[in-house]
Amino acid sequence: RIALDNGTILTPKLGLSGVWNFDVGRGAASQAGLIGDDDLRARADMGFTAMNPVSGIHVSISGHYDGIGIPEYNTWGGKLRLTLPIK
């Protein structure tokens, strides 16, 4: 946690996961073909949350990259969430 001078608290997030799609040959397909393959790959997730206890506002930003270790497969995405209190 990182506390800023205005009271806002930043919480960074970082993660790494291993992904294994087993039994891919049994129909796990999309319009682009098979989803991945039966190799092990990694997914990296990162982001942060900012929360101001005085105003009650929360902002979360996160992103991911999937396909580390497999050259022919990769995806990425992100998410933004804003929470405003109703007083």
Residue 79 lies in a domain: yes
Residue 33 lies in a domain: no
Q: Is the pLDDT of residue 19 over 90?
A: no
User: How many domains does the chain fold into?
Assistant: 1
Separation in Å, CA 12 to CA 1, 5, 7, 36, 56: 7, 17, 16, 29, 18
| Residue-wise pLDDT tens digits, 46-71 | 999 999 998 999 999 999 999 898 88
Residue 51 lies in a domain: yes
Q: What is the largest CA-CA distance in the chain?
A: 55
Whole-prediction pTM: 0.70
What pLDDT score does 74 carry? 87
CB atoms within 10 A of CB 36: 19
Residue 66 lies in a domain: yes
Domain span including residue 49: 2-17+43-83
Distance of CA 28 to the CA centre of its chain: 22
Residue 29 lies in a domain: no
Residue 73 lies in a domain: yes
